[in-house]
Structures are given as C-alpha cells and as structure tokens.
Amino acid sequence: MMSMNVDRSALPMPESPFGGKIGPTYKESTAEWPALPAPPKGAPNVVIILLDDVGFGQASTFGGPVSTPALDKLAAAGLRYNRFHTTAICGPSRAALITGRNHHNCGSGFLAEWATGFPSYNCMIPQSTATIGRILKDNGYNTSWFGKNHNTPDWESSIVGPFDRWPTGLGFDYFYGFIGGETHQYYPVLFENTKPVEPDRSPEEGYHFMTDMTDRAIDWLRYSKSVNPDKPVMLYFAPGAAHAPHHAPKAWREKYTGQFDRGWDTVREETYQRQLAGGIIPPGTENTPRPEWVKPWNSLSADEQRLYARFMENFAGYLSFADHECGRLIDAISQLPDADNTLIFYIVGDNGASSEGGFTGTVNEVMNLNGLPSNLEDNLKVIDDIGGPDTEPHYPLGWAWAGNAPFQWVKQVASHLGGSRNPMVVSWPARITDAGGLRGQFSHLIDILPTVLDVAGIPAPATVNGIGQKPMDGVSLASTFADAGARPVRERQYFEVFSNRALYDQGWIACAQHTFPWRQDFAPGNWDKDKWELYHLDEDFSENNDLADQHPDRVEAMKKLFDEECRKYNVLPLDDRGSGRLTEPKPAPGGADPNRRSFTYYPGAVRLAETAAPNTKNRSHRIDVRIDKPGEGVLLAEGGQSAGFVIYVKDGVPTYHYNFFEIERTSIASSSKLPDGPSTVSFEFRYDGDGAGKGGEAVLILDGKEVGKQRIERTVAGRFGIDTFGVGCDTGSPVCKEYKPPFAFTGQIGKVEIVLGDAGLSEAEERELQAKFHAGINY
C-alpha cells in the first residue's frame, strides 16, 4: 500500500520508488512490489443516486403523492435537505455534479444538441475540470457509473469515439448504461464501457432497464468488495427514471389506479398541506398559485380528465418502481462489510418536474416532436397500454406544475425554484447520528464533490495528467452532517439556462424568466427588457411574494452581482436562441466531411446515433446491400418503434418496411426470394420534393431487377427518435412488428452502400427543420 503521507496534489500520483535491493543475482537481492495508490485511512465508500426529471413535491418523502419507501427509509436514518439545488436542466446538472464546478465553467452551459463553439457551451467537458471518477480513481478508489450519461457529445457517441468524454474516459473504471437524454426502458440503447450490448431478455420475458442496471450495479459492488473488501468504492447510479418515456411495469402503474382522478389542482394542494404538516417546508410558507398556462382541472372534459389521470398514474408507477430498485441497491449496500462507512447521496431529480409533454401529454413523444401532436381520440384508444413497451408517454404539463409544489415554474426555468430546487437525502451511519433530521442550508450540486473530498481527506488536485485544474466552485457540506444549525455553507449562487437566470445572495434571490420550456424558439424580448423579480427566501420559502417594486436598489445591486458571477464563471455569451443554436454546425462525427453523400458500412457497424448516420430524409436515396451468404434477419435498420425504416429477410423474402409514427406502415415484399449464392438487395426512394416530409416512390430491387414498388405518401421530416442505425440487426425497439429484435442476420453481409441524392430542401431549410424538431425534444 502507498504511504498515507503521499503528495496527492498531482494526479495520477507518481510511482513509488523501488525500496528493495538489486544485487548480482537474486541471492544478493531484495524484492519489493510497487505500491498502489490508496486513499487516506477511513475514507468512506461513496454512492450517488441521481433521479431524472422529478419535482420537489412528487416523492412521498417530501410530501408528494408518489410512494417512495426506499427514500423514506433512508431519510429516517439520515438527513433531508430541503434547500438543495440543481441547474434546472439535465446535462448541465450532471456535469456540475461530477466535476464540482458550475456548469458553464466545465463547458456545459446547455445541452450538446444545442452546443455552440464557445468554451462554455461546446459541451466538451475539459480536462481542466477532472471528475469525481478521475480524482477518486487516482486516489485508490474503484469507480463505476450506471444508467444515464448525457455528458458525451452526440458527435462523439459512436463506437469509434473518441472516448475521452465517455465515462471510462472521464475516470470511471466501469460503465453500463445509455448515452443521451433518454432511452426506451424496455428496448434501451445500451453500452458496456464503450461496447454496444443488448438486453438479455425481451419485455415479454420481464425485461426493464431499471431492474437490469440495478442488478449490474449490485453485482459490481459485491464483486469489488469480494476481491478487496478494504478498498473503497465510488458508485454513480443514474436511472433514466423518471424522464420520458415514462415506462412503468403494469403492476406498478396499476397501484395508482384512481389516485389522481381529483386532478392536478387538488393533488398540488394536498401535497402542499403534507409538506407543511411534515415540516418539509417552514410554517407560513405559501403555495404559489396556478399560472395561466395550466388549465383548471374542472375545465377539462371527462375524457381529458380520464386520460390525463392515467398519464399521471403511469408516471407515479414509474417513479415508485425506480425507488424500489434504488431500494434494492441500498439493501445490498447495507450488507457490505463496511456498510456503516458508506456515504450515500440520494438526489431526487436533476431538475424540476418536466413540462415537455406539452399541454395534452402524448403516447408517442417523438411524433409530437416532429410536429404531429397526438390527439385525444388516438390517445384514448391506447389508454390501457400507456406505460407499456408499445408506447412512449409523457404526462401533460399540469402535472409538472403540481409536482413542483409549492414552487413556481418547471424544468428548464432556472430563474425559479420549480426548475432548480430538488430534494436530497444523505446517509452515513458512521458519521450521521441525527436520524431523520432536516437541513435547510442553501446548497447545490457543485457541493457534492467537495464534500466527498473533504470527508475522505483527499485534496482537490492542482494538476491531473499534467493539466492545471480549475478550482472547485462548490464547498463542503460536511459541517451540516452533525449540526442542523451550522453556518450557511453557500451564501451566493447564480443560475442560468437559456437566458432564464437568477442570483441567490445571502437569503435573497433576484430572477428573470426569459424563455418558455415548451417554446424554446421564443424569447419575450431583449435581455435588458426582462422583468426582474425579487424574493426574500429566508422569509418567503416558496418565492410567492415579489418585492422588486419595494426594493429597486437591491434588484439593481443583485443584477450587477449576477453580471460579476457571469464573468467569474464564464457564463457569457448569453444566448436565448432555440432553433438558432440547434442549426449551428457541430463537429462532424469522427471529423468526417459534413457534406458527404456516399457511405459504405460493413457488418458490425451498429448502434450509430441518428445524428451520425446518413440522413436519408427529405431526399431521394439508394441503398445497396451486398449479401455474400444468404440468411434470415435484418440487413439494415434505422429508428425503431416510434418511426424508422428496415430492410430485412424473412422466409427467404427481402422486405422493405417504413414506419411513419405507427400512423402509416408501408411494407414492400420482394416477388422473388434470395438466391442460394451471393446477391445484392437494393432500395431506391424517389422523393417527390417540394418541401419536407413529402412522399415518393419506393422501389425494391434484387440483383438489378425490380421486385417490388409502392408509394409512401408521408415521410418523417425531422427525426426517427431515440433508436439508432445499424447493419445486420435492429437494436433497440423494433421498426417492424413482423420480428422480435434484434433479429440478427444469420447469413453474411459483405457491405452496405448508401448514396444520398439532392435534398428536397435547401441547406438552410433542412437545418431549420432539424432545429424545429430539437426545439421540443425531451432532454
């Protein structure tokens, strides 16, 4: 073991000098093995659980209507934090958590899909902000990451990397999960470290990613402690739950049947009353009123109420199920030989509840994002299936407002607490004795890493791999573990997402709401015309009483402080563009020519993100699949259950299938079967042109001979969804219902060649179209 007096300021730590003796032969020599890095004596295991898109008032532990017994149990033995904060949006929150720096300061001012070429907004976490995985690994911890990773830019997310900003490149020894804002919970797009992998069973056989990732995490934890029980572990557990698509196993969603028939107005008020009664919020806290963008429940039709209640039943089942799986992980931790010396942070959401389901909710979020909102009649037809494998649901925004009780606004609105305040529970049996205690110190995600380093006795490094490190922006919360009355650990914090901005300073907060979550292409005007609000949070916990008119001097002073924080933490330039930022050119995958029209792929080219694959939409194109040895299965697929296309062979018959959001499905089966020897299956689409999403003639060709032809009247203009592109199998959810995924081809594919014709749109029109899709996507 390495000496405890080692210099930890430069990572990785230098190799220890040889302390033995080298003589002429082994008889005159003394051996000594190199010492390995080891943490300071007594350093705890660290487990960070981070839920997704959960509001302050949703979990039962903090007064919400959704049962979370595992969180309840952990809170009863640990501490509850009711003034803990996130950035109000997913990727930036996660970057802040793992680096201990403000999100702009680690290059993550917003999401990679909206990235621009400015250092604070390129979403390429720099080496100057080493992560918790890197720091603890280099100090002798085993490190792992399970679940969601939305900190790898999508142009770096293919299996050819680069892998510097994948979890394994950021210092985590092991990764099992998905890359991006969301995934299908029954058909997830999975990676193990940097290798694409498939679920070991189907949804019909009981598969759900939440259970899978929990099983993997428990196995990793037990194996680590079996091999070396004295070596501490750092486990980052980041479920996709409860982000859309809301996928709750049937038994879990049925637990909530009828429980939300009272509607969001009543459910929010009941939550607020429980929060008061349970001391979650201070006495006298007011419940902020329903905003004009949420319809009164009693103004909805009976069918709307029935459908919207079912959406919430499904979400509640999903969140409860996720908590159950977190409970299994916590139970496994309790069985470790050093369980008492395990520090657990259970953070209930990376931002407030999400309004991205829009005003009506949806069963096919990708279709909505492409500008084709689902209607009430169609949603009612599948009401009993909501939450199952064949739906991709998100509830209406009224439930997001209710779920953020007692605060204003929702996810993305960093200016207000409904977007940025999330509950947290901390447990550490060896050090926390105030079981069930409540902590009200103002704190933030950036404080987690400094807290871990503080209690482990590990300094923040000055250099990592020879690169100077930015100072930690966070501060340690350790003083609050033993003392509910500990002095404030953080007296100032800025917030900014999409120009929604705020500054907290010594009990006051000044804030300016600038854009709408459901209208990212909308900004109310110039920044200097924004209306700033002012709240005294020490006396007004819920931000209900705007004091800006009474204290104009304080507002102006805090605006100046905000500007200072912007300069200090590299927030500038402010950018309120939605579609405009989306149309900003991004680095091409692998440095390829972004104007490329000809592509060749070989077997094994799977799990390629849609943004990195050939864009066949809104244009004519040709696909040639050379088959060296005939077989059955998928030749080429892109997309999935939401929308996409596939060329496959079944019973010897080549078939092309196009899925237009399950509204229209077009299948073209070959009039001839595959020959016994080598062959070429080709497909041509002859686009009508004159705009986006138009139809065209689809032609299937076998060895140069036309074997099938049909019109496709409507095509996907924007995106197929959250599934991927692949040769030789259909990973994720199936494009076509005639087979079960992955339906891997049993023969041998030589290569696939794709040639793109001229787009049916101008370059500017095509970029704008993609931007409109992204402007509403649920990240």
Give dist(CA 462, CA 471) in Å, integer.
8
Res 777: pLDDT? 38
Q: What is the pLDDT of residues 83-103, one digit of tens each?
A: 999 999 999 999 999 999 999
Q: What is the pLDDT of residues 429-460, one digit of tens each?
A: 999 999 999 999 999 999 999 999 999 999 99
- Which pLDDT band holds residue 512 (cuts at 50, 70, 90)? very high
Interval 158-164 mean pLDDT: 88
Residue 1 has pLDDT above 70, yes or no: no
User: What average pLDDT does the structure give for the chain?
Assistant: 93
Taking residue 267's Cβ as centre, other Cβ atoms within 10 Å add up to 25
- Taking the domains of the chain in order of start, what are their residue ranges? 45-492, 493-582, 595-774
CB 409 within 8 A of CB 57: no
The CATH-assigned architecture of domain 493-582 is 2-Layer Sandwich (3.30)
Nearest by Cα to 408 from 557, 589, 276, 287: 287
Angle value at C-alpha 490, between 484 and 494, nearest 5 degrees: 140
Interval 113-142 mean pLDDT: 96
Residue 679 has pLDDT above 60, yes or no: yes
- Which pLDDT band holds residue 759 (cuts at 50, 70, 90)? low
Q: For residue 739, how far is the Cα from the chain centroid?
A: 29
Give dist(CA 642, CA 663) in Å, integer.
10
List C-alpha distances in Å: 504 to 32, 366, 534, 563, 667: 55, 36, 10, 13, 58
One-character DSSP codes across 80-94:
EESSEE--SSHHHHH
- Which pLDDT band holds residue 5 (cuts at 50, 70, 90)? confident
Provide the token pair at 36.
């390995």
Res 778: pLDDT? 36
Res 3: pLDDT? 46
Give dist(CA 688, CA 698) in Å, integer.
11
Give dist(CA 262, CA 258) in Å, integer.
8
Res 719: pLDDT? 84
Beta bridge partners of 47: 235, 344
Res 160: pLDDT? 83
Beta bridge partners of 39: none
Give dist(CA 754, CA 743) in Å, integer.
22
Q: Which helix (H) or strand (E) is 492 found in, with range?
A: strand 492-497
Q: What is the CATH number of domain 595-774?
A: 2.60.120.200
% of the chain with per-residue pLDDT over 70: 95
Question: Among the ranges 525-529, 552-556, 588-592, which has the highest mean pLDDT value?
Answer: 552-556
Provide the token pair at 519.
């209208």
Angle value at C-alpha 512, between 508 and 514, nearest 5 degrees: 160
CB 246 within 8 A of CB 391: no
Please indicate whether residue 774 or residue 716 has the higher confidence score (pLDDT): 716
Nearest by Cα to 614 from 535, 468, 724, 729: 724
Strand arrangement, sheet containing 79-81: 195-197, 190-192, 174-179, 142-149, 233-238, 45-50, 342-347, 424-427, 79-81, 437-439
Strand 342-347 to 79-81 pairing:
unpaired
Give dist(CA 196, CA 272) in Å, integer.
44
Res 518: pLDDT? 78
- DSSP tag of 485: T
One-character DSSP codes across 85-152:
E--SSHHHHHHHHHHSS-TGGGT-SS-GGG--SSTTTS----TTS--HHHHHHHTT-EEEEEEEE--S
The CATH-assigned architecture of domain 45-492 is 3-Layer(aba) Sandwich (3.40)
Res 114: pLDDT? 86
- Which pLDDT band holds residue 371 (cuts at 50, 70, 90)? confident
Q: What is the pLDDT of residues 33-43, one digit of tens each?
A: 999 999 999 99
Interval 50-54 mean pLDDT: 98
Interval 372-390 mean pLDDT: 92
**b or e along 429-449 (b: 16 or more beta carbons within 10 Å of the residue's beta carbon)?**
beebeeeebebbbbbbbbbbb
Strand arrangement, sheet containing 467-468: 10-11, 463-464, 467-468
